[in-house]
Structure 1
């Protein structure tokens, strides 16, 4: 192709890839998600454009997370990158989630196939040690989760004050951050950062 381009007098320049935009405004949420323990399940709710994918990208850049875009063209297709061979059953898909060292984020519940949804539902609802996965799971969606989760994060529009550098989840002597009416989201706290977002824990007990 390069030789043909030179023959035609064309120049094939390398495509310039813009660096990712700096992450700002969701530091508290990023810290809460980064603190998920093995076997815990988190859900991010928000309309399009609220920053769900950007939050997952920031987790991936921080390291330790595998982000899987939702896809519905193949059974269990969303979870296929976790296995050497594409899973063909819920049991096989769950096996890929048993490693407690793995952290998996699925971006777009509504865009996943029924097999992937069934697997993630079983993983979230599993109480038996033979069913419960070891991996930390994070799922984004436009609606509330259809099952109980350990952490539910609602994303709303950011306000100018949410972009203040160095904003952190710092408890006061009473255990609450000065800018919140609720405890902060670093375990075992929960967090509400005004209209921008709200973090809630929806299980009374943390999985062991």
Structure 2
């Protein structure tokens, strides 16, 4: 069984206050998922000063791109990937890091978008990741269709599963790594197992060592 690493993700910036809340209530995170863009009423965009702060704490960053509201069409997939690449470069995120498209359960999704996202990232300095819900919404079917048409969607992409939701826990009491996967199989190397902690505005995640080694 691969080693797994505990961490959190947050729409809010990883400030000193939020870091203190997490470390005091749940434990020291080893990885922190953060969004590349500021979207009003949705997410604070990652900044270079925040990156420096997390690095000083010994925390790796899992970059998330969420500046889209549906995952439909090749053109939109390429644009999303290009924007994600631009923002990663703007922030000084090094080559070889996975960037995760935030595909919510209520999004429309088609295989064309997924193929375009993967192909553009594969042909860049970065690597393709996708946050997804395997049980609710259209992702499962679209992903399996994309894999059937383009094998690299399976071989080159790492997925981050939102299911099952077993509930927030402290670092030392996390569940065994058992994320739900698409019907056709996938490299599911991250799992958001707990959402919306009461104490701090964070979710709790587990990351496979193989992914952890390719984060920033």
- TM-score (norm: length of structure 2): 0.34
Larger strand percent: 2
- TM-score (norm: length of structure 1): 0.35
Compare CA radii of gyration and give the structure with the larger one. Answer: 1
